[in-house]
Chain A
Amino acid sequence: MPSKPLKNPCNLCQSVRAILKRPKTGQQLCKECFFHVFETEIHNTIVDNKLFKRGDRVAIGASGGKDSTVLAYVLKLLNDRYDYGLDLMLLSIDEGITGYRDDSLETVKRNRDQYQIPLLIVSYKELYGWSMDDIVKEIGRKNNCTFCGVFRRQALDRGAIMLNVDHIVTGHNADDIAETVLMNILRGDLPRLQRCTSIITNDTSEDSSGIETSKVLRSKPFKYTYEKEIVMYAYFKKLDYFSTECIYSPNAYRGHARVFLKDLEQVRRTSIVDIIHSGEALSASVVANTTTKLPTLTTCTRCGYISSNALCKACLLLEGLNRGLPQLGVGHSAKIRRQHEERQRDSGTSTPLPTSSSPVVGGEESTVLAATVTLPSSTSSVDTGNAQTKDGLDYEAKVVVTHMKDLETRIGQLQMPSLHST
């Protein structure tokens, strides 16, 4: 009896039923072929862009969400499969958000045990003397994302220094990058546009008001990986991740950009890569056509962190918090910073902050921090209480409202054929 023809055969092996239609190509794949293609593409991204070299110590920025969970799983797998010779670590930031980060950190701890990768958690409270809960209590919900973004970037860097790593990888995926490109175009923020499209940088700050560079490299191995495939991979591999929205960050602007991109993708399959290419093309032309001088880098007079100003952005924000002037450093930071520095110069004083409120950097002090490095326990607990969350939403809340309307009106510009690289 001839066997019934296979429904939806896999385009690669032809012998198994397909379970996924790839967003990039429309190709239909069975589970095993999907795993293979997904992992191999990330391997190729790593190799083609020479992201790592043998012996590198690499920290995976881990939020417990889908992207960083899949990243940790896949990097460990590829490190073993292709013998990269990397020393992998998980690095998590505890912003101090009750009911959100404490839950997601539990997920990261399970990942530590499941994947047998050591974990370091650094907290805002320990680094800066303020948790996000404290900050929101002080300043309300309006600009808290600004604080969180600035603090997170520096905290990741400080965590990386404590771990003595060469490199931090983050789970930003193609959809995230396309969203960021879109938002930066709408804001006309070309410096940040350039940074968000680079697969590897040594900037910690994606803020146009001051570039903070670091000895620690940062890269995005998922730059060309679609969110749909990350989620499907996590689903079929039954990976344990966390998924709720940050309680302080409804993130309306990114949310709209995101839904808009998904809608575009329905009518034009290649929208995501098109927009990433647009971002790259625009930044390339910006670099070619401008003679922007890079700010001279110095070190923060308070904490020693690399900064283009006398006070780094985190210290400026802390200064505001500790003086009860939380708007300091929020918004037109360059201007406010200048005013602040002039005032300081005029009065001839620099008010020292309580040491607990100054970020601690390098040297002996950093090892004294109560940050907890924990090693994987050998028993892996598998918990399916999933939830995920988006962190790393690095833009300033203040622009959200003013530019919301632009989303619709400027969208046409993104479709200009000249912006698409082939």
Chain B
Amino acid sequence: MATLNINLQFSGGMELLFDNQKSINVQIPSTFSDKAVEKHATNMRDLIAWTAENLVQERPELFLGNDGSVRSGILVLVNDADWELEGELEYEVQDGDEIVFISTLHGG
């Protein structure tokens, strides 16, 4: 099965959910399929679900929000750009991508 090499980074307190790891290299499948959608190239929605399932040690509700997205207040960057410019959940993840999750919920 083809896979994608992705670097995930966590900061702003987000790393607390990931065993205090600030950077994790992962291999994820290059395609996903579910009941609703046929086999499709891996997108951010898949990556977030995969991350929650495989990497979040406890309390996934602190990572996951509604509609398959991250919880409100978590900023996401794709290759150092705001994911809001990249299509958010629909962005197709590419081999070698660097995805950053920053919590803004951990006070100031």
Contact = CB atoms under 8 A, between A and B. Distances in A.
Interface of A: 8, 17-21, 28, 63, 65-68, 171, 173, 175-176, 227-228, 230-232, 235, 243-246, 255, 258-259, 262-263, 265-266, 386-391, 393
A174 B73 CA distance: 14
Q: Which 10 pairs, one residue from A and one from B, show the smallest C-beta to C-beta distance?
A: A390-B107, A67-B108, A262-B72, A243-B13, A21-B84, A65-B108, A243-B106, A389-B107, A19-B81, A262-B73
Interface in B1-59: 11-13, 16, 22
B82 interface: yes
B107 A17 contact: no
B108 A63 contact: yes
Contact of B107 (A18, A228, A388): A388
B64 interface: no
Interface of B: 11-13, 16, 22, 71-73, 75, 77, 80-82, 84-85, 100, 102-108
Contact of A227 (B77, B84, B85, B104): B104
Nearest to A389: B107
A259 B108 contact: no
Q: Taking each of B12, B75, B85, B108, which has the highest tally of chain A beta carbons within 10 Å of its own beta carbon?
A: B108
A145 to B, nearest CB: 13
Nearest to B11: A386
Contact of A8 (B85, B100, B105, B108): B85
Given A66-B12, A386-B22, A388-B106, 11 more contacts: A19-B85, A28-B85, A175-B104, A227-B104, A230-B108, A235-B11, A244-B13, A259-B73, A386-B11, A387-B13, A390-B107
A228 B84 CA distance: 12
Contacts of B81: 8, 17-20
Contact of A245 (B13, B22, B80, B85): B13
Contact of A232 (B16, B71, B75): B75
A228 B75 contact: yes
B108 A176 contact: yes
A231 B82 contact: no
Contacts of A66: 12, 104, 108
Contacts of B102: 231, 235
Q: Taking each of B12, B100, B103, B107, which has the highest tally of chain A beta carbons within 10 Å of its own beta carbon?
A: B107
A245 B16 CA distance: 10
A266 B72 contact: yes
Nearest to A385: B22
Contact of A388 (B13, B73, B80): B13
A374 to B, nearest CB: 23
A258 B12 contact: no
Contacts of A21: 82, 84-85
Given A228-B75, A386-B12, A243 B103 contact: yes
A244 B106 contact: yes
B97 to A, nearest CB: 15
Contacts of A245: 13, 106-107
21 contacts: A19-B77, A20-B81, A20-B85, A21-B84, A21-B85, A63-B108, A65-B108, A66-B108, A176-B108, A227-B104, A227-B108, A228-B104, A231-B104, A258-B105, A262-B73, A266-B72, A386-B12, A388-B13, A388-B106, A390-B108, A393-B107
